[in-house]
Structure 1
Amino acid sequence: MGIRGATLPYEARALIQECDPATIFGDMSFLGSGAFGEVFETSHLATGARLAVKKIRLVKGFDSDEWDDTYREIRFLRRCDHPNILTFHGCYLHEMTICLAMELALGSVTDVMEVFKAPLNEAEIAVVAHDVLAALAYLHQSGLIHRDVKAANILLTEDGSVRLGDLGSGSMSSRASSLVGSPYWMAPEVVMAMEAGSYDGKVDVWSLGIACIEMAERRPPLWKMNAMSALYHIPMNAPPTLPADGGYSDALRDFLAAMLVKSPAERGSAVELSQQPFVAEKRPGDTILKLVTRAKKPRELWDDLGGPSPPVTPGSYEGALAAATGPTGGAAAETALQQVRTIRHQQRSELEVEQAVVAMQLKEQKKVRVVHNKAAEQMRRHHEAEMQRLAQQDARGRDALLRLGDSEREKLRPKLLGSGRDEIRRSHTETVKASNKQHKTLLSEANKMPKSPDRSDTLKRHKAEQAQRLSRLEEQHKQSIADFVRNFNEQVEKTHAGWWDKHRAEFETARASVASYQAARAETFAAKHAEEQRQLEADRAAAQVELRGFEADEETRLEEQRQRQVQLAGRHEEELHELTISHVTSTRRISI
């Protein structure tokens, strides 16, 4: 069946098809990789549709957290059917590798911002937010929570549609309590879930608000902090806002204020927020299509990075070309064409220099981002390890205390419990014997009576009365046993409660001490990370200063080249003028 060393669980067989993906998909080209697998671009052999396939290798088989997370994602995807949610095209299993086939998107909003090195405008943010709210309303009405809404998970397609993707962190319950998601986008109630209880779909509304700030500023709030510090500040600080001097509209600010409310009860739902003027306003239907089209055109990308094309001047390529095709012709044309080649070469050199500057900037930003992400990931892993160790230690301590309590409770049960029951049973037995003896005596006396109807009635009455007495005695016996056991257990529980309160207080004291120690360690680690972050920012600032110096030198050199071109063009115009005068004079002499 294509599975080595494991069997697909029965409950998953209706969702996952066991076959070789090579029989379904064409050649695969690698797109990227993440924490949960690798993503490839391919085509469906039967339909020709372009798809994205995520491959997840089940190293530990089906009895692992990796499988549980994957199976939850598959079930989540199967339940979703909405035009603004990435379409699921099936799941396949081959040799312990899960292949999730999804709709292929052009890229994420984050990718587009990286291409332009600029944020989205308000019209684009409004269209994206409108479509994501529609997807969230569908999820929440279906009892689902996304839990990882951010610009990197908002995808754009070739036809300008908006899709909500990356559903691997989703919750199948409308009430959840686990700490899941990306730190900078987490709602306050998610951060505090372990202490304050569960949360609902409104956490996605908060995350979308942070994503809107990210789309307007290219970065989420608190992005300069490490993840641990951000998780501390999110529930403690006031809700984030856009800069006062950013030139943003009141409609956008009101929209963000409605989403970024710390109290979930006062925060609007996805349906309510879709009525906000900022997203309810009618926008051009091709807003996102134009954005996607611009991102796909290298020339327009260069215009965004390098500014408008130069005007036609005597020292430019267009000016030299016009001179070459002018009425002078002959030697003047040959000279002008040579100037065209020279100017074209100089412009290409300038373009290459500017491209090199842009490449250096991108490389420096990528380097800083990689270092920052690595430090944040180390902090996250350390925090998770510390929290897991503390939880395990707490669980072991509680289990040990419960076992000790059970042992003490058993010790408190004296042997009198058994002896008390035996005494009640003996008393009941003796009472029953006495009643039977009395019954036999009555029957014996009745039998001595002459045979008559009265004698028969007397015997029946004695037997019925005896049966009633025995029934009452049996009920009294059961009630006596129950009362004895209840009273005994109450006494044992009262004694045990005092013991439990005493030892629980000792346990809570020890637990508080451990928690204090952990907090001190976390604070020390956070301070160390903050120092590393400051050093990183200092190195980045130094690199930026060096880069600006390089840019200034290149600008000076390019300005000198432009001045030389202007001088060259001036001399060229003088030569052409002299050549024209000489040509006219020669023509007149020949005519004479």
Structure 2
Amino acid sequence: MRRSLGRYELTHELGRGGMGVVWAAHDGEHGREVAVKVLAPRGHAAELTTLERRFLREARLTSRLRHPGIPSVHDHGSHDGELYLVMDLVPGRALDAVLKNDGPLGVAQAADVARRTAGVLAYAHGQGVVHRDLKPSNLMVTPDGGIKVLDFGVAAALEPQPGETQFTAPDATPGTVVYMAPEQAVGRTVPASDLYSLGCVLYELLTGAPPFTDGSPFMLYHRHANEPVPPLADRRPDLPTGLRTLVERLLEKNPEDRPASAAEVAEMLTAWAPRPATASVTAPAHPRLAEIAALRRSGRPARALEEYEELMAAPGLDRAGLLAARAGAALCVGALGRTREALDELRSVLAEQRSLLGPGDPAVLDTRYEIAVLLIRSGERHAAEELLRRLAEEEGRVLPEGDAGRGRSLALLSRLRRMA
């Protein structure tokens, strides 16, 4: 049955969740097809008020996320007492439907889905947002093979914006128990909680079922927190040892024992994921990028940081330019003494650059080199040496003779070893 919600004509239902109903709709004002999430009213006024608070909080959180792997939010508001959120209508198939119809994925496809998802999580975590409900039904495979991460509706801000408060009550457990990290079940949510859920998803992509499926919600909480994960080798003997080890690390009970970040996971998964093709035509770089980089290198990182932020806030940057500006801003932050903050941002940028440009693009090699420099500065010498060793091999293989970047990693590695 067709109905209208302001300027949006709702055409057919797409799905239902804990917070509401999602409709396909036509936006008459802009002439486009969109998805509209409408708050599902409940029986009690107090409960409706609680749901309204969560719904409006979702709108604030999701509208500040700008990433090609996250559907954009276009509008939100209230119409005749109904709250709604308007976002991109994403074509494709949800991963739960893919698994149901096609069965487990091949190693390369599963690793690619997980790598792309980890890249989205790296961005969201950098914005202070944890998804908290990662599962196959919230991952959409688009017709071009991309991944969209849906429904940040139960996401919690790690660092709430001014005027925001953490909504979830201490005894509440948003999320889906089958994919929920042990600490999340007892009210503690950290970025590593999303990595545990990603581990459950990757386990299911490879075997056809998540690690734990049987029992009541309480029993599932108990199994995630206390029982060993059923060995992957028993369910999928042909898996590469390194990939099996990565899944096991993602599913560690203690969040501190999981990989350090989603960006690190995305980088590790490139060993098994198909390499994205480098774009054959590259748009000219924004002229301001070179100017601001020169300002940064001249010893004025604070001023350069201001100009990077102004450039990113203005229209006109394509995605590659935005990533270059983010990388430059991170280098300014590092030059100002905030090394850990700069490292986290560069790792997030790297995951997105790999996906967009391909692993051999000069911008990707530049970002990896700068990460190595920051690792040295922060005292993580072993990690820096390992990164520089791999990078030196790739620079020699990928970059042409005479390129300024060719040989730099080998030279830095030699200096580092002489200092030992």
1:387-466 aligned within 5 A? none
Change (3 A) 1:61 1:100: farther
- Equivalent residue in structure 1 for 2:178, among 177, 180, 184: 184
* Matched residue type, 1:179: T
* Matched residue type, 1:25: Y
Judge conservation of contact 1:240–1:260 (CA < 8 Å) in 2: no
- Equivalent residue in structure 2 for 1:138, among 98, 123, 139: 123
**Paired residue secondary structure (1:28):** strand
Distance 2:233 2:273 in 1: 26
Judge conservation of contact 1:239–1:262 (CA < 8 Å) in 2: no
Judge conservation of contact 2:22–2:36 (CA < 8 Å) in 1: yes
> Are 2:103 and 1:113 equivalent residues in the alignment?
no
Gaps of 5+ in 1: 1-19, 287-592
> Are 2:13 and 1:30 equivalent residues in the alignment?
yes
Q: Using the TM superposition, give the Cα deviation of residue 29 of structure 1 relative to its aligned residue in structure 2, in angstroms.
A: 1.6
In structure 2, the residue matched to 1:249 is 240
Q: Using the TM superposition, give the Cα deviation of residue 240 of structure 1 relative to its aligned residue in structure 2, in angstroms.
A: 4.5
Aligned residues with identical type, % of pairs? 26
1:548-567 aligned within 5 A? none
Distance 1:83 1:41 in 2: 20
- Equivalent residue in structure 1 for 2:23, among 30, 40, 48: 40
Q: Using the TM superposition, give the Cα deviation of residue 41 of structure 1 relative to its aligned residue in structure 2, in angstroms.
A: 1.1
* Matched residue type, 2:93: G
Judge conservation of contact 1:213–1:219 (CA < 8 Å) in 2: yes
Q: TM-score, normalised by structure 1?
A: 0.41
Alignment coverage as a number of residue pairs: 261
Judge conservation of contact 1:274–1:280 (CA < 8 Å) in 2: no
**Paired residue secondary structure (2:129):** coil
* Matched residue type, 2:95: V
In structure 2, the residue matched to 1:72 is 57
- C-alpha offsets along residues 116-170 of structure 1, whole Å, 9 cap, x if unaligned? 2x12211111111111111111111111111111111111223322011111111
Judge conservation of contact 1:130–1:280 (CA < 8 Å) in 2: no
Which structure: greater helix fraction? 1
Distance 2:48 2:98 in 1: 39
Q: Which has the larger radius of gyration?
A: 1
In structure 1, the residue matched to 2:225 is 235
Change (3 A) 1:191 1:27: closer
In structure 2, the residue matched to 1:496 is none
Judge conservation of contact 2:10–2:23 (CA < 8 Å) in 1: no
Judge conservation of contact 1:58–1:96 (CA < 8 Å) in 2: no
Judge conservation of contact 2:65–2:124 (CA < 8 Å) in 1: yes
Change (3 A) 1:201 1:73: same
1:35-434 aligned within 5 A? 35-58=18-41, 60=45, 64-105=49-90, 106-116=92-102, 118-173=103-158, 178-193=172-187, 198-244=188-234, 246=236, 247-268=238-259, 269-276=261-268, 278-281=269-272, 283=274, 285=276
Judge conservation of contact 1:31–1:41 (CA < 8 Å) in 2: yes
* Matched residue type, 1:48: G
**Paired residue secondary structure (1:244):** helix
Q: Using the TM superposition, give the Cα deviation of residue 275 of structure 1 relative to its aligned residue in structure 2, in angstroms.
A: 2.1
Distance 1:275 1:21 in 2: 45
Distance 1:214 1:169 in 2: 22
**Paired residue secondary structure (2:108):** helix
Which structure: greater strand fraction? 2
Q: TM-score, normalised by structure 2?
A: 0.57
Judge conservation of contact 2:70–2:150 (CA < 8 Å) in 1: yes
